[in-house]
Structure formats: structure tokens, C-alpha cells
Amino acid sequence: MKLMVIGGGGREHAIIRKLKENPQVEAIYALPGNGGMRGDAVCVNIGAKDIAGMAAFAAEKGIDYAVVAPDDPLALGAVDALEAAGIPCFGPRANAAVIEGSKVFAKNLMKKYGIPTAAYETFDDFSAALEYLKRASYPIVIKADGLALGKGVVIPATYQEAEAALSSIMLEKKFGASGDRIVVEEFLEGPEVSVLAFTDGKTVKPMVSSMDHKRVGDGDVGPNTGGMGTVAPNPYYTEAVAERCMREIFLPTIRAMNAEGRPFRGCLYFGLMLTKDGPKVIEYNCRFGDPETQVVLPLLESDLLTVMQATTRGTLAETEVKFAAKHACCVVLASGGYPNAYETGKEISVPADVLPHVYFAGAKTTENDRLVTSGGRVLGVVAVADTLAGAIEQAYSRADRISFDGKYCRRDIGARALKAGK
């Protein structure tokens, strides 16, 4: 079989490595992929938002199955277009991808179907929002409606901060048209858990839970990033919590999307907060998380391609989705300065025995075939072990053997999970 994976980050690299385990797979094309993936996929210079380009490429190469990983092409209807061209796909159609693409849609869906989430109001008018914020209690959460590269959330501690945030989102359009509408919601507290789930629109099969580390600095300080590391499973996500999430959140969400005529097929990401009043949805994503995928897929024992095809065919109920009872840790190595300005073009050196445990993101190959940095988050290095402590230790010992100028990583990935698990 010939496969095509849309996207070019660490998440896509992890997906590609797992897909390769299936002996029927003869070729995987990554659109656009990145230079670090070269050993695992053929990178093709077609951007993840070039829907017409990917459909034409798929037809030309005779692609048998496509995986659309990032949010942008999903929201733009990549799955709709590829299906129309006769190519079966993993991922939701645009009318279901809206669960991530519009926070207003997601909040209204949860309200209508009684799915637990933070109390909220939506606004498309600056003065009405400002009036509301004058009377609100703080901290409070302000979210731009549309996709904003994971950066459209601010948590002002005072009215003054809220006013400044509101004008940058709604008046100065910091996130473009994503800020035409906003959600203002109640500030929740509790441990956060990421749960990715396979679904064919009828059955939902959650993957092993995970914990992201979004802030740039040790001890969860500093600005938010695309994710500095992950561990799986998440110790806060006990059997009892999992059972409650299935009953109160996962199944109701799948049913709600069906009832709205927007059946969701693919990977639905539940960003949850375990509050004292029970688990609540912080966000939905219409895709695999990054860097959650880098710890979840190495623990998957079932064949990924088989499971993905089952979500497309509607046969997930009969398909086994099994995870190893082990632990995984991913440490992200970033360019010094990230998430603010950073330098690129630094040569990356990875020992041969570490390479199979590395998922590349911001890396490219130069004309003279050197691998150099090209982004903020350069790569993720992963370890799987019987214990969480073992996985963390091994991930860091691998991370320490990788070098490039300005290499930065958090030193405490998994530390909070380790404490919680004791």
C-alpha cells in the first residue's frame, strides 16, 4: 500500500514510524514532511494547506490511504476533497473539524448536550464584552473563537489585563479573523489530562492518557509553547476517572456530533481538567495532539493502519485497540530563545542508536546534506520503560547525547507526574 501523511512535525513523524510497522506498507509520502524524516518517508514539497496540490499528488501516485494530521487542512476540508477524489482518509470532514475550528461552536455544543465544561458567554461586540468583564471575577479566561496556533487563550488576573487582552484580540486582531468572536469563560482548577480517542462516529476507543508541559520553563513558568514534553499514562487519570469521562464526556460528544449531522471520524482530542466537581472539557481538538502523539503511539500494540482504516470504514467496534502497560516520556529539544526569537541553521548531531527514538519537527536538510535546525521546537526524544522514572531517565540520557548550538529543554518533564503517582 502507498500512504500519504499530511503535515510536517514531530506528531507526523511519530505517525509515520508507527504506520511503517505494517508489512503491507510499501511507501509513505509526507506532505511536506521535514528533513529529519527522510529515513522514514519520502518528503514532497506540497504544503499542508495546498488541498488541490495534495489531491493531484494522490491521484498521480495512486495513494491508497491518506492521513490528514494538522488542524488547518482538516478545517479547510482536505478530507472532503480527498474523499471526493476517491481516496480514503483518516480524519474528520470539515463540518466535524469545526469542533476545534470554532470554540463558540464547541461551547454551544457542550451546553446543548449537557457535556461538562467551564461556564461561559460568547461575544462578537467589543463593548458588550468589556461591560461583562467589568463585572466579572478574576482570574477569568478569554479565548479567540478560531484557530490561533494554540495561542488564542489568555488568562487575565485583573480587569486591566482583561481590557488590554480584549482590545488586542478584538480590535487590533492579534489572531486575525479568529478574534471576531470570543468566548469568556470561568477559570477552572485541577490537573490537566489529554486523552486522544479513535472514533468512527459510533464507537469511541480512547488511547492511553497523557500529560503535556506547555510552559517553556521548569516548574511550569514562562510563556506557553506548542508543548515542551509529555508523559503517558497520566497518573491523575485513574480507572474511575476514565469510566466517568466515557459516560459523561466521550460518548455524549460523539452522539452530539451525530445529532448535529456532523459525524466525527478520526482522532478526537479531549483536553480535560479534573476539577473538584468532576472532569470538564477545556478544549476539543479534531486531531492527534503534538507532542502527546509522540508518547501515545509508541505504547500502541495494535497495528495503527488497521485501526485508522477501521475509523474510516465504521468498523472500530470490532477492531482491537491495545496499549502496552508501560510508560513513555518525550522531551522536546528547542532552539534557545523559543517561543520568542531564536536562530536557525544549526547543525544537529544525533548518535545512531538514539535516532530511532527521535521524532523531528523543526529540522531540514541542506544542499550539502547536513541536518540543521529550522524551527523553534526542533525534535522530541522518546523513551519507553516499565516505570515512569525509568522512561524519564532514559529520555534525558538520550536527549543529553543530541547536540546543536543553543539546544534548550526543560529538565523537569514528568516530575509532577512522578510525584502524583507516588
Site of interaction with ligand GLY (CB under 6 A)? 150, 212, 227, 285, 289-290, 292
Q: How far is the CB of 226 from ligand GLY (least distance, A)?
A: 7
Please tell me whether residue 192 binds ligand AMP under the rule CB under 6 A. yes
Query: Beta partners for 3?
Result: 28, 65
289 binds, among ligand AMP, ligand GLY, none (CB under 5 to 8 A by kind): ligand GLY
Site for ligand AMP in 85-144 (CB under 6 A): 118, 141
Q: Which is nearer to ligand AMP, 32 or 289 (CB)?
A: 289
Instruction: Report the partner that residue 222 touches, choosing among ligand AMP, ligand GLY, none (CB closer than 5 to 8 A by kind).
Output: none
Q: Name the minimum Å distance from CB 287 to ligand GLY.
A: 8
Report which DSSP code applies to 77: T
Q: Is the Cβ of residue 40 or residue 290 nearer to ligand GLY in the bound state?
A: 290
**Paired strand residues for 27:** 2
Cα–Cα nearest to 196, from 272, 247, 280, 116 = 272
- Name the residue nearer to ligand AMP (CB basis): 50 or 283: 283
CB-based contacts of 296: which residues, under 8 Å, 6+ apart? Answer: 196, 207, 208, 210, 232, 288, 328
7 CB contacts (<8 Å, ≥6 apart)? Answer: 30, 31, 48, 68, 69, 70, 73
| 278 SS3 class | strand
303 touches, from ligand GLY, ligand AMP, none (C-beta below 5 to 8 Å by class): none
Q: Indicate the residue among 8 and 116 with the shorter CB distance to ligand AMP.
A: 116
Nearer to ligand AMP, 150 or 390 (CB): 150
Among 69, 282, 307, 402, binds ligand AMP (CB under 6 A): 282
Helix, strand and coil percent figures for the chain, each rounded to 5: 35, 25, 40
CB neighbours of residue 51 within 10 Å:
20
Question: Strand locations in 233-365, DSSP E?
Answer: 266-275, 278-285, 327-335, 358-360, 363-365
Q: Which residues pair with 334 in a beta bridge?
A: 377, 408
Q: How many residues bind to ligand AMP according to rule CB under 6 A?
A: 13
Maximal C-alpha separation, the chain? 61
184 forms beta bridges with: 121, 142
Smallest separation, CB 196 to ligand GLY (Å) = 9
Question: Does residue 185 interact with ligand AMP by CB under 6 A?
Answer: yes
Question: Looking at the chain, how many residues does it have?
Answer: 422
Question: Does residue 150 contact residue 285 with C-beta atoms inside 8 Å?
Answer: no
Q: Minimum distance between the CB of residue 280 and ligand AMP, rounded to whole angstroms? A: 8
- The grid cell for 83 is 474523499
When binding is defined by CB under 6 A, the residue of 188, 204, 348, 372 that contacts ligand AMP is: 188
Q: What is the CA radius of gyration of the chain?
A: 21
Q: Would you call 69 helix, strand, or coil by DSSP?
A: coil
- Partner from ligand AMP, ligand GLY, none binding residue 292, C-beta < 5-8 Å depending on class: ligand GLY
Q: Provide the minimum distance between the beta carbon of 119 and ligand AMP in the complex, in angstroms, as a whole number.
A: 9
- Site map (CB under 6 A) of ligand AMP, residues 290-309, x = contact: --------------------
Q: Between 83 and 248, whose beta carbon lies closer to ligand AMP?
A: 248
Residue 336 C-beta: closest distance to ligand GLY, Å: 22
- Residue of 42, 153, 251, 385 that binds ligand AMP (CB under 6 A): 153
In the bound complex, what is the minimum distance in angstroms from residue 29's beta carbon to ligand GLY?
23
The residue of the chain with the least Cβ separation from ligand AMP equals: 283
